[in-house]
Amino acid sequence: MKKITKHNLSSIKRILAAIFFVAAFSTAGFAQNGCDLTGPSGGTQANAATREYTAHPGVASSFVWTITNTGGGNASIVSITTNPAGLVSKATVNPGTTGGSYRLKAVVTGLSNPTDVQECTRSVSVTR
């Protein structure tokens, strides 16, 4: 068995330090596309003329927004804006003129990894 010397121990420490450094500062390469959808979920706040929902996944992404009226109502997406870097997308929704409910969905696809697809949804109840 090889004898551990000060020189060998020093080399091992340098290798471990290098591995730690690479792992600590390269997490962006392994970042997962997430789906964080914010906005109102219903009640009186949904009675406004329009409501804004934001998806911010944390990595550059493409976005596809859809809306489904699930309990009557006539909600619709009025506009969608995405910042140039693809880090934030906003959908403006008209909750409609009648009561009911809708389900808003954002499908978020990471630009650096197109197989990384996440879905986030928000169910909203509208009372009139």
Give pLDDT, residue 40. 87
Give pLDDT, residue 108. 94
Give pLDDT, residue 24. 38
Asked if residue 14 belongs to a domain, the reply is no
Could you list the residue range(s) of the whole structural domain that residue 38 is in? 32-126
Average pLDDT, the chain: 79
Asked if residue 76 belongs to a domain, the reply is yes
Asked if residue 69 belongs to a domain, the reply is yes
Q: What type of residue is 39?
A: G
Q: Kindly report, residue by residue over 68-89, the tens digit of the pLDDT.
A: 998 888 899 999 999 999 999 9
Q: Kindly report, residue by residue over 119-128, the tens digit of the pLDDT.
A: 999 999 888 7
- For residue 4 the two structure tokens come to 């551990």
- What are the two backbone dihedrals, phi and then psi, of residue 104, each rounded to the nearest 5 degrees? -100, 135
Asked if residue 88 belongs to a domain, the reply is yes
Q: Kindly report, residue by residue over 38-61, the tens digit of the pLDDT.
A: 998 876 555 578 899 999 888 899
Supply the pTM of this predicted model: 0.70
Average pLDDT over residues 100-123: 92
- For residue 105 the two structure tokens come to 């969905």
Provide the Cα torsion 7, 11, 13, 18; round to 10°.
160
What CATH number is associated with residue 109? 2.60.40.10
Could you give the CA distance from residue 17 to residue 36 in angstroms, rounded to a whole number?
35
Side-chain half-sphere CA neighbours of 41 within 13 A: 5
Residue 29 pLDDT > 60, yes or no? no
